[in-house]
Amino acid sequence: MNRRMHRIVLAWLLVSVMLMGLTACSNTKNDTPKPTDAPTPVPTETPVAEPTATSTPTPTNTPTPTNTATPTPTPAYDYETLHKTEYTSLKEAYKDYFMIGTIYTEMILAGKDKDLVLANYDVITPENLMKPEEMQRVQGTFKYTASDKMIAFAKENELTVHGHCLAWHQQSGNWLGKSAKDREEAIEQLRAHINGVAGYYKGEIYSWDVVNEAINDGVNLPADGDWKKCLRQSQWTQSIGDDYIEIAFQLAHEAAPDAKLYYNDYNLDQPAKAKIVAAMVADMKSRGIPIDGIGMQGHYSTTTSITNVRNSLDMFGAIEGITVSVSELDVQINGIKQGQYDGEQEMQQAIFYARLFNLYKEYSDLIERVTFWGYKDNTSWRAEGAPLLFKANLEPKEAYYAVLNPDAYAALGPQDVKPSTKKLEAAKGTPTIDGEVDDCWKDAKSYDINIAIMAWQGAKGTVKYMWDENNFYALFDVKDSVLNKKNSNTYEQDSIELFLDQNNCKESTYDKNCGQYRCNFDGEVSYGTVPSKDGVVAKAVKTATGYRVEIAVPMLVEAKAGVVMGVDGHINDADDKGARVSVMKLNATQDSDYTNPAAWAEITLK
């Protein structure tokens, strides 16, 4: 190759290399994705604390919640679109479906609270002031001042009034149904009370909860359909008998013949209890007892099954001549403390409310009224779970917009949210079962027992777990200011319950390794279904704030590090008269989950 040709070839090679370099640079630049703007976090506002209104009594050992929202980043929801609605208030949005209500307390008589209530609600229910002992604490002496003020307020502002309640096992003083010498005297006490309340307000109160919460917890309708076998034992069953409910309805109809009469209860989304109530109401209706409706209280959480609510509405709707009112609705956020929630938790609550109200609209021919048990979180009796539509400073939460615009919010989540299974740990160790806290318990993690199952939220506590090759151990520390074991049903005494599935079967029924172990505050052990009672040891001691229980259950499987078991913990809370008023659970969210190992937490032996 001559020199001239050599220069040409070199020049061509140089140009080729340069072109390849330019192409490579160009490709590298095009393959790099353009940066995108991160969604701007939408913090939830910390509300200003306001005085707590008079509300359903809460045990004194429960701290007063602050109902604050913790500012945290949330997913990129289109809030502007979600908040767009043609309606300016709740009652306007549902005027073609059903009445929208809230509770009455004197807080709504003036100021911004009054303005908010009058703008959004068209029916009120007295939260406490018409409960039996508030109306007639002393036999023959009725107190009308507070209820007269409520009636005057309702008339002035064209509000409908629903009365709550006439016959109840709770908050009935120390004589009503208790001091009677015989059945006839007890019936006359009931008659006089109903006449003195429902009769006094005849024509002024639209509807009444005649009997409240008469069905026992944790029972099933017998095969023969006899719902009376499922009644809660109370002063009324003891003084009158199992026909006191129909007598109360007959007396209420005589006293206020134009009022609609309801039976009211909690946990009616749960199939077993709904079946009992449906059987009771259908039976009474068929015999001409003047009952008009069922009050489904609706003290829910964001993991309540909306499918179950639908099934109950179908069941009640099949009873000819019966309407339903959602009588005490609130939806708490599980697992939060002191009313503090983040933006995503607030949105999940909103999505639940949206799906619930879409369901209610679907059943509007059956549902007469939906009453929220309050309107702002900090005055709710479940304030720790922030269950209502407005913050303490009366600013609307996402739940408020979700009720106004349910279709938009419902599209953001599933129909039913499966309750999460808590993942726990048991430390390795061998404590002495004496009710004292040995040093080895320091290595065990503490878990809160604070998921309310019943309408009331009573005693709470914590539990720790340990294990060795021979036993599974639990240490419960319960805060409870009133300890009582008068009830013959051991599960209604102040007590703890340990649920243990040593095989973690995750089945809906017990297998040979599942057990329910109970110990009251005096150290008396009782059982549900257990593989064996042999070797179970428990000790209880009273503390300055309640009581502590230490319990050991023999191992049925080979215990070693890494083994996973199913576990749950319950706290039963009795009042000073011996009636169980509260159940708190560690993981399960349904009353019937004590029979369902699939609903228990999972614990790993460490």
For 206-219, write each residue's pLDDT tens digit.
Answer: 999 999 999 998 78
Domain boundary among 418, 442, 461: 418
Is 101 within a domain? no
Residues 446 and 531 in one domain: yes
Instruction: Point out which residues pair with 332 in neighbouring strands.
Output: 301
Question: What CATH number is given to the structural domain containing 478?
Answer: 2.60.40.1190
| Interstrand relation of 546-554 and 423-428 (parallel, antiparallel or unpaired) | unpaired
How much is the pLDDT for 10? 35
Cβ within 8 Å of residue 247, ≥6 positions away? 187, 190, 240
B/e letters for 375-394, b = 16+ CB within 10 Å, e = fewer, are bbbbbbbbbbbbbbbbbbeb
- Residues 334/352, Cβ–Cβ less than 8 Å: no
Domain boundary among 388, 418, 448: 418
Residues 444 and 574 in one domain: yes
Residues 568 and 450 in one domain: yes
Find the helix packing angle between 244-255 and 183-194, rounded to 10°.
40
Q: How many CB atoms lie within 10 A of CB 6?
A: 10
Is 269 within a domain? yes
Q: State the Cα–Cα distance between residues 314 and 308, nearest whole angstrom.
A: 10
Residues 436 and 574 in one domain: yes
How much is the pLDDT for 32? 32
Count of alpha carbons within 13 Å of 38, Cβ hemisphere only?
A: 5
H-assigned helices in 196-243: 235-239
Q: Give whichever of 40-49, 59-68, 427-436 has the largest mean pLDDT.
A: 427-436
Largest CA distance in the chain: 134
Is 454 within a domain? yes
Q: State the Cα–Cα distance between residues 170 and 132, nearest whole angstrom.
A: 9
Residues 337 and 253 in one domain: no
Residues 438 and 401 in one domain: no
436-451 mean pLDDT: 94
How much is the pLDDT for 594? 85
**Which DSSP letter does residue 67 get?**
-
Residues 432 and 568 in one domain: yes
Is 176 within a domain? yes
Is 86 within a domain? yes
Residues 355 and 212 in one domain: no
Give 73's pLDDT tier (boundaries 50, 70, 90): very low
Q: State the Cα–Cα distance between residues 206 and 260, nearest whole angstrom.
A: 7
Domain boundary among 390, 418, 446: 418
Q: State the Cα–Cα distance between residues 443 and 428, nearest whole angstrom.
A: 8
Mean pLDDT of the chain: 88
Residues 452 and 582 in one domain: yes
Residues 214 and 86 in one domain: no
320-339 mean pLDDT: 93
Question: What CATH number is given to the structural domain containing 135?
Answer: 3.20.20.80
Is 115 within a domain? no
How much is the pLDDT for 47? 33
Residues 427 and 414 in one domain: no
Per-residue pLDDT tens over the stretch 467-503: 999 999 999 999 999 999 999 889 999 999 999 999 9
Locate 387 and state its tokens.
Answer: 């269950």
Give 351's pLDDT tier (boundaries 50, 70, 90): very high
Locate 423 and state its tokens.
Answer: 């993942």
Q: Is a pLDDT exceeding 70 seen at residue 25?
A: no
Catalytic residues: 213, 265, 328
Give 5's pLDDT tier (boundaries 50, 70, 90): very low
E strand or H helix that includes residue 6: helix 3-31
Per-residue pLDDT tens over the stretch 541-553: 999 999 999 999 9
How much is the pLDDT for 455? 64
Task: List the domain range (segments joined by +) for residue 552.
Answer: 423-605
**Which DSSP letter does residue 520 get?**
E
Q: State the Cα–Cα distance between residues 509 and 526, nearest whole angstrom.
A: 20
- Residues 360/312, Cβ–Cβ less than 8 Å: no
Instruction: Point out which residues pair with 323 in neighbouring strands.
Output: 293
Q: State the Cα–Cα distance between residues 18 and 506, nearest whole angstrom.
A: 67
Give 12's pLDDT tier (boundaries 50, 70, 90): very low
Give the count of domains, the chain: 3
List, as one string, the DSSP characters of 535-586. Answer: T-EEEEEE-SSEEEEEEEEE-SS---TT-EEEEEEEEEEE-TTS-EEEEEES
Give 593's pLDDT tier (boundaries 50, 70, 90): confident
In angstroms, how far is CA 11 from the centroid of its own chain? Answer: 83
Overall size of the chain counted in residues: 606
Q: Which residue has the tokens 């009324």?
A: 236
Please name which of 456, 38, 51 lies closest in space to residue 266, comparing C-alpha atoms.
456
Is 29 within a domain? no
Residues 159 and 242 in one domain: yes
Cβ within 8 Å of residue 546, ≥6 positions away? 61, 459, 461, 477, 478, 479, 480, 481, 483, 521
- Residues 522/451, Cβ–Cβ less than 8 Å: no
Is 467 within a domain? yes
